[in-house]
Amino acid sequence: MQKVITAENNYIQLDEWLKDNSVKKLMLVCDSSLRSLTAVKDKLSKLDTEMIEFGDFQPNPVYESVVRGVEIFRRESCDAIMAIGGGSAMDVAKCIKLYSNMEGGGEKDSYLRQQIVPNDIPFLAMPTTAGTGSEATRYAVIYYEGSKQSVADYSCIPGTVLFDPGVLKTLPIYQKKSTMLDAFCHATESFWSVNSTDESKAYSAEAIRMVLANMDGYLANDEAANANMLKAANIAGKAINITQTTAGHAMCYKLTSLYGIAHGHAAALCDKVLFPYMISNTDKCIDSRGEEYLKGAFAEIAKAMDCDTPELATKKFADIVDKLELEVPKTNSDNDIDVLKTSVNPVRLKNNPVGLDVPVIEKLYREILGE
């Protein structure tokens, strides 16, 4: 069970975590967001525990960065890890934890070739965005020679999460919007996933309700709403930790790389179109629990969104995305649709409750881009 602590009383619970785990030397895996977090930096500078900072990685981190982190972790004899940042910092820290007790010799991609051996290195995560929920999942994504590598093991889930709503105050408004939408899409997609369970649906419903209840306050930088949005993203992360994401996420990745928009922005544009399509095509259900179950799941999503029908829920979802005034990309060439429709990961399509073939995916992309 993951423990949640807060920054109240000058981070006293962080001090307690360090003492409880007898941490002598802490590896701090942090992204560039730490530079603007004055209060956090001040607290870290006053810790009695020796700290080794590692930030030698970029967004969409590469395998080689993780290897450097593992080498430093070992050389400095670190005995715990703290990750501060967004999804990339979390992914790097997760992989450093997993690989730290594995053999590093042989092939240059040796960690990727080996079976993961779980370890109990103390691991604390402090998210600086309310969106990815990465601090609650067993998944990490890194890139090796340009190819995406999905790393997964339950032992990489941080045992403790530190929430500080103050870190959200300095986020640019576009980043706040897109990360919030990422959490919203995680909760929604997890709800309709073929892998959903009673537990995951309870997480999804709670996350959806929290996102909707706190959206306006969060965008206005209200501290209580910021705190609740951090919790909502974490709970949505717990949902996708069980179910994984579905077609909306499978379709969004190429939009991000092709048009340079944020991940949550792209996911929301996809789910805005995917949701009503699935409502109208439950006869194409591929969930083994059947079409009537799927209709019931859509009704449960509507209830979580405080809507009387699934159709009204799709409208509410679209209205939220439209209200945030996020740009819809314009195609660069006639070739864009071909690139997009062939980019979708078929594994994630298997998680989607309504079957999608290439002509349907093309149709959805054209609708997403307003064609």
User: Cβ contacts of residue 331 below 8 Å, gap of 6+?
Assistant: 337, 369, 371
Which of 133, 167, 201 is a domain's end point? Answer: 167
Which of 167, 197, 224 is a domain's end point? Answer: 167
| Banded model confidence at residue 28, pLDDT cuts 50, 70, 90 | very high
Task: Please say if the pLDDT value at position 46 is more than 90.
Answer: no
CATH code of the domain containing 204: 1.20.1090.10
Q: How far apart are CA 13 and CA 6, in angstroms?
A: 7
Task: Please say if the pLDDT value at position 171 is more than 80.
Answer: yes
Closest among 235, 234, 301 to 274, alpha carbons compared:
301
Which of 138, 167, 196 is a domain's end point? Answer: 167
Question: Same structural domain for residues 33 and 181?
Answer: no
Instruction: Kindly state the tokens that stand for 91.
Output: 């992914």
Instruction: Kindly state the tokens that stand for 205.
Output: 């419903």
Report the pLDDT averaged over residues 78-101: 95
- The overall average pLDDT reported for the chain is 94
Question: Same structural domain for residues 155 and 203?
Answer: no
Question: Same structural domain for residues 257 and 350?
Answer: yes
Q: Which domain, by its residues, includes 134? A: 3-167
In order, the DSSP letters of 183-214 are HHHHHHHHHH-TT--HHHHHHHHHHHHHHHHH
Region of poorest pLDDT, from 86-90, 146-150, 339-343: 146-150
CATH code of the domain containing 80: 3.40.50.1970
Question: Same structural domain for residues 232 and 300?
Answer: yes
The secondary structure element, H or E, covering residue 29 is: strand 25-30
Tally the domains of the chain: 2
Question: Same structural domain for residues 211 and 296?
Answer: yes
Q: What is the pTM of this model?
A: 0.94
In tens, the pLDDT along 54-84 reads 999 998 899 999 999 999 999 999 999 999 9
**pLDDT number for residue 33:** 77
Question: Same structural domain for residues 235 and 248?
Answer: yes
| Banded model confidence at residue 106, pLDDT cuts 50, 70, 90 | low
| Banded model confidence at residue 134, pLDDT cuts 50, 70, 90 | very high
Question: Same structural domain for residues 193 and 321?
Answer: yes
**pLDDT number for residue 20:** 96
Question: Same structural domain for residues 70 and 177?
Answer: no
